[in-house]
């Protein structure tokens, strides 16, 4: 049984996202001693939304959202929903962008990360009795996350492209991937 290239693209990008997820979890574990954490949700969404065919990117973003939902104390399905909506918005805008440029990918990842982080933060703070103190912590985490995301994004985009080439399902035969 052969797996179709479109399914392999989804699987490869999902596995790369799983790797970033695992690295971020380890980093958060290490940063916990200093009361810091990082959030890379926008980085998980940017590449599939900018470079994959719409259905493949949507499937990948939804699966990555479910992965994060399984490990967060948020209402289940919230992150899958937010990742899916983010993907749809970026896909609608990508015809106006140079989607294959790394700098554009970084900017899209930063903006998406900011929006997703704020939505998740306000969801968490809505039920918090000490919201002002928590808000300062979330702001510190956001700034730290954005700085690290900007540094890691080129590596992560290159990792995904190389993984797709190794799996022999590169982006070159995707008509909607090079807009």
pLDDT at 16: 96
Which residue ranges in the chain fall short of pLDDT 70? 1-3, 5, 127-134, 171-179
Rg (CA), the chain: 16
pLDDT at 1: 56
Burial of 75 (0-12, 13-18, 19+ CB in 10 A): exposed
pLDDT at 35: 87
- CA-to-CA distance for 160 and 156, rounded, in angstroms? 6
- CA-to-CA distance for 90 and 85, rounded, in angstroms? 9
Q: What is the pTM of this model?
A: 0.87
pLDDT at 133: 62
Give me the helices (H) in the chain, please: 5-31, 41-51, 54-71, 78-93, 102-125, 131-166
pLDDT at 148: 96
């Amino acid at each position: 049984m052969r797996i179709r290239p479109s399914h392999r693209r989804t699987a490869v990008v999902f596995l790369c996202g799983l790797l970033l997820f695992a690295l971020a979890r380890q980093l958060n574990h290490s940063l916990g001693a200093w009361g810091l954490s990082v959030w890379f949700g926008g980085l998980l969404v940017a590449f599939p939304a900018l470079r994959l065919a719409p259905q493949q990117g949507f499937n990948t973003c939804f699966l990555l959202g479910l992965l994060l939902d399984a490990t967060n104390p948020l209402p289940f399905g919230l992150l899958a929903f937010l990742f899916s909506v983010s993907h749809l918005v970026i896909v609608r805008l990508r015809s106006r962008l140079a989607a294959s440029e790394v700098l554009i990918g970084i900017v899209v990842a930063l903006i998406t990360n900011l929006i997703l982080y704020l939505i998740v933060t306000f969801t968490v703070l809505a039920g918090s009795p000490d919201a002002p103190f928590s808000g300062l912590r979330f702001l510190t985490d956001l700034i730290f996350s954005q700085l690290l995301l900007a540094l890691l994004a080129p590596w992560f985009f290159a990792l995904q492209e190389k993984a797709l080439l190794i799996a022999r399902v590169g982006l070159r035969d995707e008509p909607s991937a090079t807009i």
